[in-house]
Amino acid sequence: MRANCWHGKEDVRVENVPDPTILNPRDCIVRITSTAICGSDLHLYDAYVPTMISGDILGHEFMGEVVEIGSDVKKLKVGDRVVVPFTISCGHCFYCEREEFSLCENSNPNAAMAEAMWGHSCAGLYGYSHITGGYAGGQAEYARVPFADIGPIKIETDLPDEKVLFLSDIFPTGWMAAENCDIEPGDTVAIWGCGPVGLFAIKSAYMLGAGRVIAIDRVPERLRKAREDCGAETIDYSQTSVLTALKEMTGGRGPDACMDAVGMEAHGHGLVYAYDKFKQTMRMQTERPTALREAIIACRAGGTVSVPGVYGGFADKLPLGALMNKALTFKTGQTHMQRYMRPLLARVLKGEIDPSFVVSHRLPLDDAPRGYKMFRDKQDECIKVVLKP
Amino acid sequence: MDTLQSQGQSFASGMEPRTRTPGIAQDRPRRMRTRRPMSSATHTQRRPDTIDTLARGLGWFSVALGVAEVLAPRALDRAIGAGVHPSITRLCGLRELAAGVGLLTQPDPRPWLWSRVAGDAIDLALLGGAMIDADDDERARLIGSTLAVAGVTALDIYAARAAGEAPRSAPGAMRRDGSIRVEHSLGINRSVEDCYRMWRDFENLPRFMDHVKSVTVQDERHQHWVAKGPAGTSVEWDAEITRDEPNSLLSWRSVEGSDVRNSGAVRFMPAPAGRGSIISVTMQYDPPGGALGKAVAMLFGEDPNMTVREDMRRFKALLEAGETPTTEGQPHGARPVWYKAFGGVNR
């Protein structure tokens, strides 16, 4: 089959690789009909996530048709149309029973590696480095899906792929990030990053009762989308001081909740940014936590900081004094996908949201390298790339 | 347990898991001044007392010298007769501090000892360089300083080499008598009955114990074990159950006269508030000498702690998820040469 493989910094190649096979009784094989490039894939593309190995198949947002099932798969059958969540969860461990699916204890074969770095492991993830399991990803024609009865959800309508594909990651991720803001009716939520997760988070925050959402970015088309498609007020941080603007806009108190939908490769300016960039390039820290620092400083006292942005290792100069003295609540995590997919599918079916609004580009799978470059460099107003195998 | 005990005694008595919170040895003195064989797998590597003491001494020496170099570089430069170069001396001080902190805080002194040796070489070169511009008075002091540094260098090289010879293949698991003992506990989201039942059927063991090829149950108390040896060989032995308290304790050991003396025990404890079980496993191998001993040491792989931990992780996954997670055999693109060299061909 054709598969998009990682070969190093800014080097992804679509190659011929063997087809996946059933390896465990609870596996199924999915023939992929649509797959997408995630903003978090760009951290791999820029080689900031440790434990990638040349030849790894990328991709964790995919859907398709079940073509083969293992002997213990009960709920799915060949021919089912499914969306596959990016987290792999067994369904029976301590965390899965608490619906904290992204913390599954039985899906990461390299859990020891994660324990060494993070103290404990999280669930296995598709195509996202060996510290999260080293599972082959879904930017390919076929993918092996472990624990097939727990992860994939069946799509039993004829809705086009693009309206349900993002149930695989970014819609639930934006939703959980908004839920993590502990929104009370009328709250003001500030969201750093108007990429696809940020955009879904804006929509989700409104659905959860936010009175006001303020979105922060510097890319004109993203700010426009946040304003026009999602109804947010926007701040262009390349033009305005974010902290001052947020104070002015909220009568000095600050937003009730702040969200970092940017993660480890935040952009910024000035000396501190240069310092972070230098340290990250020298591999002295894995993150550039510019957005996170601002979110902590901007948040009102007693407020909540929600972090859907991906971080991998260690960061520097985090304002813990603000976190502590302002009595902030900190909520984060990989998305507990299986908790959200069904209810959010129901919202899509009811027409409350059409997730395809984020798509800016549709490319054949073989054009994945071009898609990565375009997405990373924000060329051609690129916001979200869907690949067709 | 004590090294002076006979092997047979420690072999038999050592295997009964104590009733206690797993991983917390209540009967162990808080600070151990004399190094005893570790009774817990969670301890970091220990090496012979003298090398530890020497490494710590050199660590404190580094810290003291480093502080002096950083805080009073001029006075120090004058004392050693090296002309006054405060910035160079400060840099040397930072290097000393790094080595000192490393030696005093890190479990493995070797890299820090070698970094001291490298630092000594730099110091000797700097002193040699200073000799060129020195007047007579300074030269006399420089010669003294050089001799002192050379002495410390010899000590550093000795310590680094001696530390390098300390056992390194079995962190925390290899005991003085050469036996390997590992303890580990893990929470499992199933009842003690389920956990006990899975383990009590010894033929299940190869499903989660990586190095065990097969276990054949001979009768209610006896099994025949076959395990992987080095280079595709096998090692075999017969074992008997020594204690069997359903849903609570299970222990076994190789029968008298086996080539491979080993034993194991599992304690099954209900976790608080109905949160499944905690199982605590103790494994001990007493490798005989010679080639066979080496083969038996291989049973536990390069890192016995890791082997037991991974075996238990698979046990948990089998019970909870019904299978163990794997990526072996999945497709991938072209792999780099080094990856193949490490045997990771197929995942």
Q: Cα–Cα–Cα angle for B261, B263, B269, nearest 5°?
A: 175
Residue B190's closest CA among B266, B274, B251? B274
Residues facing A64 on adjacent strands: A32, A82
With 70 as the cut, is the pLDDT of residue A283 above it? yes
The answer to whether the Cα torsion of A249, A252, A257, A261 is positive or negative is: positive
Judging contacts by C-beta atoms under 8 Å, the chain B residues touching residue A7 are 333-334
Place A282 in a pLDDT band, splitting at 50, 70 and 90. confident
Q: Tell me what the mean pLDDT of segment A177-185 comes to.
A: 98
Residues 6+ apart with CB under 8 A from B133: B83
Chain A CB contacts of B339 under 8 Å are: 53-55
- Identify the CA nearest to B266 among candidates B244, B285, B288: B244
- Residue A271: pLDDT band (50, 70, 90) is confident
**pLDDT score at A114:** 93
Angle at B294 between CA B292 and CA B300, to 5 degrees: 115
Asked whether the beta carbons of A7 and A44 are under 8 A apart, the reply is no
Residue of B nearest to A147 (CA): B321
CB A240 within 8 A of CB A219: no
Angle CA B287–B227–B16, to nearest 5: 55
Lowest average pLDDT, out of A97-101, A103-107, A376-380, B43-47, goes to B43-47
Whether residue B301 has pLDDT greater than 70: no
CA distance A282 to A290: 17
CB-CB under 8 Å, B322 with A25? yes
pLDDT higher than 60, residue A173: yes
Cα–Cα distance for residue pair B248/B227, rounded to 1 Å = 26
Burial pattern B216-240, b for ≥16 Cβ within 10 A else e, equals eeeeeeebebebbbeeeeebebbbe
Question: Per CB distance under 8 Å, which residues of B are interface residues toward A?
Answer: 187, 189, 275-276, 306, 309-310, 313, 316-317, 320-336, 339, 344, 347
| B147 or B83, which is more confident | B147
Q: Which of residues 84-103 of A touch B (CB under 8 A)?
A: 88, 90-94, 97
Predicted local distance difference test score (pLDDT) of residue B32: 37
* Cβ-Cβ contacts under 8 Å for B148 (sequence gap 6 or more): none
Instruction: Give the Cα separation of B236 and B258 in Å (integer).
Output: 9
Nearest chain B Cα distance for residue A95, angstroms = 9
Confidence grade of residue A381 (pLDDT, cut at 50, 70, 90):
very high
pLDDT above 90: percentage of residues in chain A = 89
Q: What does the pLDDT look like over B187-220, one tens digit per residue?
A: 999 999 999 999 999 999 999 998 899 999 999 9
Eight-class DSSP state of A367: G
DSSP class of residue B171?
Answer: T
Average pLDDT over residues B64-73: 88
pLDDT value of position B289: 55
The C-alpha atoms of residue B141 and residue A204 are separated, in whole angstroms, by 75
A111 touches chain B (CB under 8 A): yes
Residue with tokens 């001052």: A244
Domain-wise residue ranges, chain A: 2-169+335-388, 171-332
Q: Does A144 touch chain B (CB under 8 A)?
A: yes
Band of pLDDT at residue B21, cut at 50, 70 and 90: very low
User: Residue A26 is nearest to which of B316, B323, B339, comparing CB atoms?
Assistant: B323
pLDDT tens-place string over residues A226-262: 999 999 999 999 999 999 999 999 999 999 999 999 9
CA of residue B20 relative to chain centroid, distance: 24
Partner B contacted by A369 (CB < 8 A): no
User: Largest Cα–Cα distance in chain A?
Assistant: 61
Percent of chain B with pLDDT over 70: 75
**B214 or A289, which is more confident?**
B214
Query: What are the pLDDT digits (tens) for B260-300?
Result: 788 999 999 999 988 999 999 999 887 655 455 555 655 65
CA distance A287 to A283: 9
Rounded to two decimals, what is the model's pTM? 0.77
- In this predicted model, which residue has the larger pLDDT, A238 or B305? A238
Assign 3-state DSSP to chain A and report helix, strand, coil percentages, each to 5: 35, 20, 45
pLDDT at B71: 87
Contact A262, A315 (CB under 8 A): no
Q: Is the pLDDT of residue A202 over 80?
A: yes
Which of these CATH numbers, 2.60.40.1190, 3.40.640.10, 3.90.650.10, 3.40.50.720, describes A171-332?
3.40.50.720
**Crossing angle for the helix pair A196-207 and A170-179, to the nearest 10 degrees:** 50
Residue range A3-17: average pLDDT? 97
* A44 Cβ under 8 Å from any chain B Cβ: no
Write the DSSP symbol of residue A357. Answer: G
pLDDT per residue as tens digits for the range A12-23: 999 999 999 999
* pLDDT for res B28: 40
Where on the phi/psi map is residue A86: left (φ > 0), alpha (ψ -120 to 50), or beta?
alpha
- Higher-pLDDT residue of B305 and A17 is A17
CATH, domain range A2-169+335-388: 3.90.180.10
Backbone angles phi, psi at A232, to 5 degrees: -90, 155
Chains A and B form CB pairs within 8 A to the count of: 110
Q: Is the pLDDT of residue B164 over 70?
A: no
Average pLDDT over residues A108-134: 95
Contact B327 A109 (CB under 8 A): yes
- Cβ distance B332 to A144 less than 8 Å, yes or no, reads no
Using a CB-CB cut-off of 8 Å, the residues of chain A touching B327 are 23, 109, 133-136
How far apart are the CA of A154 and the nearest CA of chain B, in angstroms? Answer: 21
Structural contact between residues A358 and A383, judged by C-beta atoms closer than 8 angstroms: yes
| Residue B217: φ, ψ to 5° | -75, 125
Pick the more confident residue, B129 or B310. B310
Judge whether A338 and A89 are in contact, CB under 8 Å: yes
Q: Which residues contact A362 (CB under 8 A, 6 or more apart)?
A: A385, A386, A388
Position A156 scores a pLDDT of 96
Separation CA B346–CA A88 (nearest Å): 20
A333 within 8 A of A172, measured Cβ to Cβ:
no
**Any B CB within 8 A of A17 CB:** yes
> Are residues A112 and B310, on separate chains, in Cβ contact within 8 Å?
yes
Chain A hits for B333, CB-CB cut-off 8 Å, are 3, 5-7, 13, 15, 17, 54-57
A56 shares contact with chain B (CB less than 8 Å): yes
Q: From the DSSP assignment, how many helices (H) and strands (E) are in chain B?
A: 11, 7
- Sequence-separated (6 or more) residues with CB below 8 Å from residue B68: B76, B93
- Residue B170 has what pLDDT? 44
Count of positions (residues) in chain B: 347
- How confident is the prediction for chain A on average, in pLDDT? 95
- Rounded distance, CA B173 to CA B178, Å? 9
A111–B330 C-beta distance less than 8 A: no
CB B270 within 8 A of CB B277: yes
* Whether A135 and B336 lie within 8 Å, measured CB to CB: no
DSSP symbol at B271 = P
Write out the two tokens for B331.
């497709």
The closest of A292, A290, A294, A297 to A275, measured between CA atoms, is A290
Sorted by sequence, the CB contacts under 8 Å of residue B165 that are 6+ apart come out as none
Read off φ and ψ for residue A173, nearest 5 degrees: -65, -45
**R_g of chain A, CA atoms, integer Å:** 20
Q: How confident is the model at residue B17 (pLDDT cuts 50, 70, 90)?
A: very low
Examine the predicted complex and report whether its ipTM is higher than 0.95.
no
How many other CB atoms are there within 10 angstroms of residue B69's CB atom?
Answer: 22
pLDDT value at residue A354: 97
Residues B192 and B268 sit within 8 Å (Cβ to Cβ): yes
DSSP B185-233: EEEESS-HHHHHHHHHSGGGHHHH-TTEEEEEE-SSSEEEEEEE-GGG-
What is the C-alpha R_g of chain B? 27
Average the pLDDT over each of A125-129, B17-21, B242-246, B330-334 and give the range with the smallest value: B17-21
